[in-house]
Amino acid sequence: MDTCNKISKFLQKSGYECRVMGVPKTIDNDLFGTDHCPGFASAAKYIATTTMEVYLDARVYDTGMICVIEVMGRHAGWLTAATRLANEKGCGPDLIYLPEVPFDVDKMVEDVIRIYEKNRKVIVAVSEGVHTKEGLFISEIGAGDDVAVDSFGHKQLGGTALVLADILKKATGAKVRGIELSLMQRCASHCASQTDIDESFMAGQTAVIKALEGLTDYMIGFERVPGKNYKCEIDLIPLDEVANTEKKVPRDWINPAGNFVTEDFVDYALPLIQNETCQQIVDGLPRFAKLKKIFVQKP
């Protein structure tokens, strides 16, 4: 959205007439000014589904087992919080750590040991972006200054689950598995939410219509209509207001101890993951749309 804003301002300064509308898409769900972002709900559905499956897998043997599931999210914990939806079906994590709350490794080890001694099974969901109160990411604890940087200058994260699994293995002697949901959480279209797809379509369509009507410098946002049944309407938010402001999980949607997510998040996210897509399957595998280049001769 910051890029949209910069391009539009530059074109205006250069006297080039062009209308710029921001169509949001980010599974991170961290854009300011909109109830949620296209893409988030489908990733959340995959993450909650997978968490349920991993929960059951961890219970096929009666030996002890600790699973650390690492979910994307550099500064905002929306995706990691989505594991909480699995608790509604009795197959969710015991502990959830988001980057919104400073992460204390010793406290986490205590939490895990307490649950492990009681249940012999612990599922931990952790955001890749959790960091100590000094601002140190978990993947940096081992790696020191040797952390790669992406093209935006953000530190490339990853490895949080493995570092924590290693710490927990040493602290408990138990079988511990670190699982990174990696690219799958953002590309598992076979597990998409139809609600998400419908809203994404609506967002793109509205952007084109509004631009044709003469509007510019707005982002398409969603506004939730109050009431018992879920409904979202389109909202237009000035790009200036959206750019470079991150929306995080509210502190009061996280429990006081900072190791779980409250029912407020469930009320927010559960409506978004409803309805399954009728994905086209050919030969037992997904059929994806292909855009073909069509050469149109100019008149």
Catalytic residues: 28
Q: Are 19 and 203 in contact (CB under 8 A)?
A: no
Measured distance CA(119)–CA(195) in Å, rounded: 36
Could you say which residues in the range 17-56 bind a copy of itself, by CB under 8 A? 45, 48-50, 52-54, 56
Q: Which amino acid is at 98?
A: L
CA distances from 229 to 224, 263, 292 (A): 10, 17, 40
Q: Between residues 37 and 162, which has the closer beta carbon with respect to a copy of itself? A: 162
Which 3 state secondary structure label does DSSP give 214?
A: coil
Residue 73 Cβ vs a copy of itself, minimum distance, rounded to whole Å = 17
Q: Which amino acid is at 189?
A: S
By CB under 8 A, residue 183 contacts a copy of itself: yes
Residue with tokens 């927990």: 168
Residue 169 Cβ vs a copy of itself, minimum distance, rounded to whole Å = 8
By CB under 8 A, residue 189 contacts a copy of itself: yes
Q: Are 43 and 185 in contact (CB under 8 A)?
A: yes
Q: Between residues 50 and 80, which has the closer beta carbon with respect to a copy of itself? A: 50
By CB under 8 A, residue 281 contacts a copy of itself: yes
By CB under 8 A, residue 275 contacts a copy of itself: yes
Return the sign of the alpha-carbon dihedral for residues 120, 181, 250, 105.
positive
Residue 53 Cβ vs a copy of itself, minimum distance, rounded to whole Å = 4
Sites of contact with a copy of itself (CB under 8 A)? 45, 48-50, 52-54, 56-58, 63, 67, 85-86, 88-89, 91, 151, 162, 177, 179-180, 182-184, 186-191, 193, 270, 273-276, 281-288
